[in-house]
Structure 1
Amino acid sequence: MSTEKQTVFLSGITGYIAQHITKDLLETGKFKIIGSIRSEEKAKALAANFNNNADLSFVYVKDVADPAAFDESFKEHGAKIDYVIHSASPFHFNVTDVNKDLIVPAEIGSAGIFKASVKYAPNLKHFVVTSSYAAVSDAASDLDSSKTFNEESWNTGSFEDAIKNPVDGYYYSKTVAEKTIWKLAKELDAKFGVTAVNPSFVFGPQCFDSAATGTLNTSCEFINGFVHSSPTDEVNGTIKGGFIDVRDVSKAHVAPLLNSSKFNGQRLIMSSARFGNQSLVDVLNEIPQLKGKIAVGTPHRDDNVASELAAVNNDKTKELLGFEFTSLKKTVTDTALQILKVEGKL
């Protein structure tokens, strides 16, 4: 039996989720990783965090929205690439032109790396794309308690509505990005397996303490904001949705690499349960270092938040993955404790 390590190409390796994927892959001892990164400076910093692991190397990709962004890297390394994880996927609403800044780059970026995979990686066994729950449901439908979404569901929002605001634009961009992958897999007759991982809001600690400072990634910033709130601050009741722990999301990306046939053609909805801002605050107020110092809101206002939102039936995902998703209490507590530790408040 061969013990030679297999090679994973991981796009956007500096990302919040991608760093956890890198950690999990390296810990298996089965993989070498080629990570796409924007600068040598970032590469050196990340390599140092991973103790300059010999199984971790980098290629420089300046702009993932360039149709040929990945061509040079795949021409050079394609023959030895066994797996691709495309996680380079910005999550933010800070845009001026929704179509130009969100939708077009999402489609071009996904098409570019998939086409490069087909063209230059003849030994590729599996392609995993970091998609989003935003590709499963649009924002308005997710607030409709009469609806149920599962792995077969797609966001049906229109382009006309999407370009009106960044939130709907983001949801639409994720849908376009994922649909592009599935479409190309058919059109190009891809000989490798394909899996989409569709996380809802992603909480949990940063892979390294050094990243748990300043403004965090969009989802964790909800928690960070409340950690630094005051007792008199209001708790916005409009933020509601599904959540998942980043460590569970990472495991979902690694699983298809270990069993391609099982996960081929599957979409994995990564959602542990529903939450609202109040439920985040309720958990945070159980932490001794925060109790009495942060926003309180209306305790337990979100205890029945799931009944106010669309139902999420991801039983198929849970059965495929075979592990229990992390609870809200643990993911919020772990996120907050890391922030407090870095700030010297523990």
Structure 2
Amino acid sequence: MTNSNRGVAVLVTGGSGFIAVHCIIKLLEQGYMVRATLRSLHRQNEVKDMLSKGGISSFENLSFIEADLSQDNNWDKAVQGCTYVLHIASPTPVVNYKHEDEMINPAKDGVLRVLKAARAARVKRVVLTSAYGAVGMGNRNRTTPYTEKDWSNLEANLHPYQKSKTIAEKTAWEFIKNEGGGLELSVVNPVAVMGPILGTDYSHSNQVVKKMLEGEIKACPKVYCCHVDVRDVVDLHLLAMTHPKASGERFLATTGKALSMLDVADILKKNLVEVAAKVPTREMQNWIVRAAAIFNPSLRMLATLLGKYAETSGDKAKQLLNWSPRSNEEAIIATAESMLQLGLIKK
């Protein structure tokens, strides 16, 4: 425990989420007072159970408050007395959406609610969890790794989830520039987040590993993606929260090397052997995925990523903040092993 953090309060939004739970663990371990928002306080025990699995034995420095990104209620109370805010909560991809605004408006309105409350409460710095979806989507003919200078192209045919992440982050930067009143902002843009699962609430990126191990994916779509371990995403959030050089900056949380889905399958096969017997060994033609996406809404975001260049650079965080992430392989295997330990994989 770091004594200098004693009494320093941090608000974590979306306290039941995959990244948020791991952030709470690290903050408690480092001696911070943590207040976490939940849309329903009925989930308190579920969150505490995940924290216990992550090694937390005392909850005396943890409290919960009910707050919803789509409502004004309680945000002033949530940030009261906090030095920092980790704004991690965000709407997850909606499969059967009728209009893109179902994802865009909650993300945009939610970030403004949090920033306005933080400004009024004289919070020092907010760290916003954005995404690679706000950096590398909709850009054609790319041949060099994406960096923090890049933005997704809102004029392109983006999936509403990617569009929501981009608009929400742009909204945050615009607010800080025009209305921030001295409030500091840092942004973390994770790629596909892997790593130890602590419960049934985990990143949608982890679903690929689960579906491969269960044999649901018979052949791999030709999609390329960079990965990062959730523990390293947490480290970057805390660096972005406290490091003097992080204010006003955005950081890609990435190991930097893009893998195909078949590469991910090969990593599972190599490391888990018999347990990975159902993991696919071949790729699927793009036209099959696009045709299936017409009838299966859950494939529509995937279909927009087929064959797209996806290399990213994590050099900024490494050089400016001395951040050092684990390898792709370690992150992916940690996901699989934790799912197996929790009995989340159907035999």
Q: Classify the TM-score, shorter chain.
A: 0.7 to 0.9
Query: Shift of the alpha carbon at 1:145?
Result: 4.1
Quote the sequence identity (%): 25
- Going from structure 1 to structure 2, the CA distance change for 1:153 and 1:2 (only over 3 Å counts) comes to closer
Query: Shift of the alpha carbon at 1:47?
Result: 3.0
Question: Equivalences for 1:69-108 in 2 at 5 Å?
Answer: 69-74=73-78, 78=80, 80-108=81-109
Ranges in structure 1 where 5+ consecutive residues have no aligned partner:
163-167, 300-306
**Secondary structure, counterpart of 1:186 in structure 2:** helix
Query: Shift of the alpha carbon at 1:197?
Result: 0.3
Question: 1:65 and 2:65 equivalent?
Answer: no
Say which of 146, 154, 157 aligns to 1:157: 154
Ranges in structure 2 where 5+ consecutive residues have no aligned partner:
284-306
- The aligned residue for residue 304 of structure 1 is none
* Distance in 2, Cα, partners of 1:133 & 1:251: 17
**Please, what is the CA RMSD of the aligned residues?**
2.6
Are the equivalent residues in 2 in contact too, given 1:136–1:155 (CA < 8 A)? Answer: yes
Are the equivalent residues in 2 in contact too, given 1:285–1:294 (CA < 8 A)? Answer: no
Are the equivalent residues in 1 in contact too, given 2:258–2:311 (CA < 8 A)? Answer: no
Q: Deviations over 1:14-37 (max 9, x none)?
A: 0000000001111112x1011001
Are the equivalent residues in 1 in contact too, given 2:187–2:249 (CA < 8 A)? Answer: yes
- Going from structure 1 to structure 2, the CA distance change for 1:268 and 1:69 (only over 3 Å counts) comes to farther
Query: Shift of the alpha carbon at 1:310?
Result: 4.6
Question: 1:54 and 2:40 equivalent?
Answer: no
TM-score by length of 2: 0.83
* Distance in 2, Cα, partners of 1:223 & 1:69: 37
Are the equivalent residues in 2 in contact too, given 1:86–1:129 (CA < 8 A)? Answer: yes
- The aligned residue for residue 180 of structure 2 is 189
Give the aligned residue type for 1:156. N
- The aligned residue for residue 221 of structure 1 is 207
- The aligned residue for residue 281 of structure 1 is 265
Query: Shift of the alpha carbon at 1:278?
Result: 0.5
- The aligned residue for residue 298 of structure 2 is none
Are the equivalent residues in 2 in contact too, given 1:144–1:310 (CA < 8 A)? Answer: no
**Secondary structure, counterpart of 1:265 in structure 2:** coil
- Going from structure 1 to structure 2, the CA distance change for 1:217 and 1:189 (only over 3 Å counts) comes to closer
- Stretch of structure 1 that moved more, 40-49 or 278-287: 40-49
- The aligned residue for residue 254 of structure 2 is 271
- Going from structure 1 to structure 2, the CA distance change for 1:52 and 1:60 (only over 3 Å counts) comes to farther
* Distance in 2, Cα, partners of 1:180 & 1:277: 32
Question: 1:237 and 2:238 equivalent?
Answer: no
Query: Shift of the alpha carbon at 1:338?
Result: 1.2
Query: Shift of the alpha carbon at 1:51?
Result: 3.5
Query: Shift of the alpha carbon at 1:147?
Result: 4.6
* Distance in 2, Cα, partners of 1:155 & 1:2: 39
Are the equivalent residues in 1 in contact too, given 2:224–2:310 (CA < 8 A)? Answer: no
* Distance in 1, Cα, partners of 2:276 & 2:95: 33
Query: Shift of the alpha carbon at 1:247?
Result: 0.8
**Residues paired across the two proteins, number:** 315
Question: 1:256 and 2:240 equivalent?
Answer: yes
Deviation >6 Å, runs of 4+: none
Query: Shift of the alpha carbon at 1:89?
Result: 1.2
Are the equivalent residues in 1 in contact too, given 2:225–2:310 (CA < 8 A)? Answer: no
Question: 1:297 and 2:281 equivalent?
Answer: yes
Are the equivalent residues in 2 in contact too, given 1:284–1:290 (CA < 8 A)? Answer: no
* Distance in 2, Cα, partners of 1:292 & 1:268: 34
- The aligned residue for residue 146 of structure 1 is 143
* Distance in 1, Cα, partners of 2:106 & 2:308: 34
- Going from structure 1 to structure 2, the CA distance change for 1:83 and 1:28 (only over 3 Å counts) comes to same
TM-score by length of 1: 0.83
